[in-house]
Structure 1
Amino acid sequence: MERLRRRLGVPDAVVIGLGSMLGAGVFVVFAPAAAAAGGAGLLVALALAGFIAFCNATSSARLAARYPESGGTYVYGRERLNPFAGFLAGWGFVVGKTASCAAMALTIGAYLWPGQARLVAVAAVVAVTAVNLRGIGKTAAATKVLVVVVLAVLALVAVAGVAAGDVRLDRLTEAGGSVRGVLTAAGLLFFAFAGYARIATLGEEVRDPERTIPRAVPLALGVVLAVYLLLAVVAVGVLGADRLAASAAPLVDVVTAAGLPDLAWLVRAGATVAVTGVLLSLLAGVGRTLLAMARRHDLPGALAAVHPVHRVPHRAELAVAAVVILVVALGDVRGAIGFSSCTVLVYYAITNASALTLGPDPTRKLPVRALAVAGLVGCLLLAVNLPPASVLAGFGVLALGATWYALRPRP
C-alpha cells in the first residue's frame, strides 16, 4: 500500500487547524446562533460548543496518536468498535464536509461577486484543488499565509469595536433564549470548531504523530476559542442581540457601527481569505477520508491511488471537487451549516465512543474517560436539537449510507 509522506511538524499542524476553523464561525455562524439563543445565550452556547469541541479534541488526539494514518474517525471506529461504526463515521464526515465545502465556496462567491456567486464558487473550488494536488506541504504553506491575514483582519475588527464603537456590556447580560435555543445555537456554533480534526485526518503526513498531534490539537482549539469569545463579546456589545441576529455580515456591521465604514471592504476581503483557508484544508481532509475508505473497499478502490510525484490522493481529491462543484451548481448556502453540523456531530460521537475503549491514560493529567463520556453525550444532545430540517436531512443521509453499506457487494 502506498503511503503519504510525513512532512508536518507542530507549527504546520496548528496552522492547518487554525485555517480549518477560523472563518466559518466568525463570518457565517454568529448571526443564526444569536437568533436562536439571544445575546447572553450566545456566549453560553459558544462556551458549550467550545467545551464539547475540547472533549472531542482530547479523544481525537489520543486516537490519532495511536493510529497515525489518514481517515480520522473512520479508522478509529473500525479499529476500536466495528467496521460499520467506522463506515458511518466516514460517510457522515464525507457528506457533511462536502456540504460545508459547497457552502464555503458559495460564501466566497457572495463576497467577491454577488451577481455571479456560483461562477466564482466553481473557480474557487478549482483553484483550491489545484493547490492541494501539489502536495500537503503546499497546503500548509498556503494556509499559513491565509491564517496571518485573517488574524490581522479579526484583530482590526476587535480593536475598532472596542476603541471606536459603543461596546455596551449590559447587552451581554440581557435575557437569552430558551434552553433549547441555547442548545440549537451551540450545535450551529460547533460547525465553527470542527476544523481541529483536520490535524487528525492528516495523521499519516505528520512527523512524530504521538507527540505532534496531542500538542497541536488543543493549541489550535485554544487559540480559536479565545478569538471567538473576544469577537462574540464585541459583536454583541456593539450591535446587540437583535441587530446581530438580523445581520448578513456581522463583523462588517461592527466596524460600520463603530464609525469606520471605510474599513468594510477590508473586512469583506478578510472574510473571503478566511473562507478560502477553510476550503483549502477542508477539501484536503475530505480527500484523505475518501482515500482511507477506498483502501478498505468501503468506496471504489480507484480512489485509493496516491500520486507518484506529489504523494497526494489525487483521484480522491478530484472526485470531491467534482461533487462540490455539482452541489454549488444546484444548491445554496442556507441549510448547509445545519446539515453539516448534524452529520459531523454524529462523527464525533463515534470518536468519543472509540476513545472510551482505550481506557485510562496515566501519562495525562486530564480525566480523559470523563471527557470522552461528556463529548459523546454532548454531541448527540446538540445534534438532535439542531433545526428540525437539518436533523431530518442529516439522519436521513446517514440512513441511506447505512443501507448502502448493508447491501454493497463485498470484495
Structure 2
Amino acid sequence: MFDAVTIGLGAMIGAGIFAALAPAAAAAGSGLMAGLAIAAVVAYCNATSSARLAALYPASGGTYVYGRERLGPFWGYLAGWAFVIGKTASCAAMALTVGAYAWPGQAHAVAVAAVVALTAVNCVGVQKSAWLTRAVVAVVLAVLAAVVVVCLTGSTGSTGSPSARADLATAVTFGGVLQAAGLLFFAFAGYARIATLGEEVRDPARTIPRAIPLALGITLVVYAGVALSVLSVLSPGRLADATAPLAEAVRAAGVPGLAPVVRVGAAVAAVGSLLALILGVSRTTLAMARDRHLPHALAAVHPRFKVPQRAELAVGAVVALAAATVDVRGAIGFSSFGVLVYYAVANAAALTLTRTEKRPPRAVPVLGLVGCLLLAFALPLSSVVSGAAVLAAGAAVYAVRRRARPGGPRSGKSRSGGPRAAGA
C-alpha cells in the first residue's frame, strides 16, 4: 500500500505544480482556485471509476484493459493509444523540465540523459523504482512545505497593484476557468500509474482501490495549500507572467535565498514524475503488445526482474528522441488532451458496471465522462487540433488492421482477471 501510494504521489506531486500554475493563472485570472476545484472534482470521479475497475481487472494496462473488457476492443485500443501517445509527450515535457532547471543551457542534453538513467532504473524492477520515488516525494514535499510557510509568513507588499488585480478579475470567463482546469488536471493525472501497475502490486483488488483515492486526496491538499500561499504574495497577473512561479513567490515573500532550493526541488520533482510516467507508459505498451496492437516482441517479460524490459527500452528510446526535439509547452497541451480522452473511456467503462460488481454511484462516472470531454475541448486550439488528429490517425490504423485481419486481435476477455499475468 505504501509503495503504491508513493508511486501515485511521485507522478502527481511532481513538476506540474511547479509549472502549471502560471499558464492556469493566465487562462483563469482570479478564477484560478475555481479551476483547481473543477480539476479536482473531475480527477476524483476519474480516480473512483479507475479504482473500481482496477479491482476487477488487476492487470497491466489500466484503461486500455477496462475499455477493451467493458466497451469492446476498439475503445480499449483508443484509450491505450491516447495514453501511450499523450504520456510519451508528457515524459518528454518532464525530461525537458529537468534540463531547464538543472542546466538551462543544455536542457535537451540533460533531458536525454535523465530518460536513459530512469529507463535503466525501471528495467531492474518496480521495487527499486518505488524506493527512488519515495526519496523524490520526500524532497519535493519538503520544498513545497517551505514555499507555503515562507509565503504565508513573509512580506505581502509585492502582490501587485489593486488596479492590476481588478483588471484581471474582470477578464475572468467560464471558458478561461475551464481551460485552467484542463491545464491543472495535467498535474493531477498521475494516479493512473497505480492502476497500470496492477500485476506488480501485492493484493491489487484490495490495495489499488484504497491507494488511488488516498494519493489523490494528499495531492489535492498539497496543491490547494501551494496555490493559496502563492496567490497570497503574487497577484494573478504577476503569477501568470512568471516563468518559475514558486521561485518568484519566495522572492516576493522576501526570502530570495530560497529560490535556488526551489529550483532544485523542481528538478527533483520532474525526475519523480518522469520515473512514474515511464513506468505507466511501458505497462500500457506491454498490454497493447500482448493484443498485437503494437509489435508483439514488446510483450516479453524479463525472467528475473519480472518487468516488461523490451517495452521499457522502446518507450525510453522514443521519449529520448522526443526530448531531444520537442517544445515543452506544446508537449504539455498535447498530453493533457490525450490523458483526458483516456479517462473519458475509463468513466464510460465504469458506467457498465453492475451492482454486484460494486459499481460507484452512477453520477460519478457520468460527471467524470462529461468533465473530461469538456476540459479536453476547452484546452488551447492547437492542442485540441493536434490531439484530435493523432487520435483519428490511430483509429484509421485500427480500421486498416481490422480489415486486413477479419478476426481481429484477441479480445483477451476475462472477467476474472484480464490478460495473462506477467511471469505467470
TM above 0.5: yes
* Cα deviation 1:184-213 (Å, max 9, x = unaligned): 111111100100010000011111112111
Matched, 1:84 2:74: yes
Return the match for 1:254 from 249, 257, 276. 249
CA distance in 2, matches of 1:93, 1:362: 25
Which range moved further: 349-358 or 167-176?
Answer: 167-176
**Superposed displacement of residue 164, structure 1:** 1.4
Matches within 5 A, 1:4-403: 10-39=1-30, 41-166=31-156, 174-175=169-170, 177-360=172-355, 368-403=361-396
Equivalent residue letter for 1:23: G
Change in Cα spacing, 1:260 to 1:285, as seen in structure 2 (3 Å) is same
TM-score, scaled relative to structure 1: 0.94
**Superposed displacement of residue 78, structure 1:** 0.4
Q: Percent identity of the aligned residues?
A: 64
Matched, 1:404 2:394: no
CA distance in 1, matches of 2:361, 2:386: 32
**Superposed displacement of residue 360, structure 1:** 3.6
**Superposed displacement of residue 362, structure 1:** 8.6
* Cα deviation 1:327-372 (Å, max 9, x = unaligned): 11221102111111111101000000000000346968xx521100
Change in Cα spacing, 1:153 to 1:361, as seen in structure 2 (3 Å) is farther
Checking the alignment, whether the CA contact within 8 Å between 2:55 and 2:205 is kept in structure 1 is yes
CA distance in 2, matches of 1:372, 1:303: 32
CA distance in 2, matches of 1:18, 1:325: 24
Checking the alignment, whether the CA contact within 8 Å between 1:25 and 1:228 is kept in structure 2 is no
CA distance in 2, matches of 1:293, 1:222: 30
SS in 1 for 2:259: helix
Note the residue ranges of structure 1 that are not aligned, 5 or more in a row.
1-9
Which range moved further: 276-285 or 325-334?
Answer: 325-334
Equivalent residue letter for 2:116: V
Checking the alignment, whether the CA contact within 8 Å between 2:279 and 2:312 is kept in structure 1 is yes
Which range moved further: 389-398 or 320-329?
Answer: 320-329
Change in Cα spacing, 1:64 to 1:176, as seen in structure 2 (3 Å) is farther
SS in 1 for 2:362: helix
CA distance in 2, matches of 1:361, 1:244: 49
**Superposed displacement of residue 285, structure 1:** 0.5
SS in 2 for 1:238: coil
CA distance in 2, matches of 1:190, 1:304: 30
Change in Cα spacing, 1:389 to 1:291, as seen in structure 2 (3 Å) is same
CA distance in 2, matches of 1:383, 1:151: 29
Note the residue ranges of structure 2 that are not aligned, 5 or more in a row.
410-424
CA distance in 2, matches of 1:216, 1:359: 23
* Cα deviation 1:50-102 (Å, max 9, x = unaligned): 00000000000000000000000000000000100000000000000000000
CA distance in 2, matches of 1:82, 1:195: 25
CA distance in 1, matches of 2:336, 2:225: 23
Equivalent residue letter for 1:266: V
CA distance in 2, matches of 1:165, 1:268: 21
* Cα deviation 1:357-400 (Å, max 9, x = unaligned): 00346968xx5211000000000011111100000000100000
Checking the alignment, whether the CA contact within 8 Å between 1:359 and 1:369 is kept in structure 2 is no
Equivalent residue letter for 1:247: A
Change in Cα spacing, 1:344 to 1:363, as seen in structure 2 (3 Å) is closer
CA distance in 1, matches of 2:329, 2:148: 27
CA distance in 1, matches of 2:171, 2:348: 32
CA distance in 2, matches of 1:374, 1:62: 16
Equivalent residue letter for 2:212: V
Moved over 2 A (4+): 167-176, 359-364, 408-411
RMSD between superposed Cα atoms in Å:
1.7
CA distance in 2, matches of 1:101, 1:278: 8
TM-score, scaled relative to structure 2: 0.91
Equivalent residue letter for 1:81: L
Checking the alignment, whether the CA contact within 8 Å between 2:52 and 2:358 is kept in structure 1 is no
Q: Number of matched residues? A: 399
Give the corresponding residue for 1:4. Answer: none
* Cα deviation 1:204-251 (Å, max 9, x = unaligned): 111111211111001000000111111111111211100000001010
Equivalent residue letter for 1:34: A
Checking the alignment, whether the CA contact within 8 Å between 1:106 and 1:328 is kept in structure 2 is yes
CA distance in 2, matches of 1:34, 1:60: 29
* Cα deviation 1:298-331 (Å, max 9, x = unaligned): 1110000111111110110111111111111221
Checking the alignment, whether the CA contact within 8 Å between 2:15 and 2:267 is kept in structure 1 is no
**Superposed displacement of residue 175, structure 1:** 4.8
Give the corresponding residue for 2:414. Answer: none
CA distance in 1, matches of 2:381, 2:9: 30
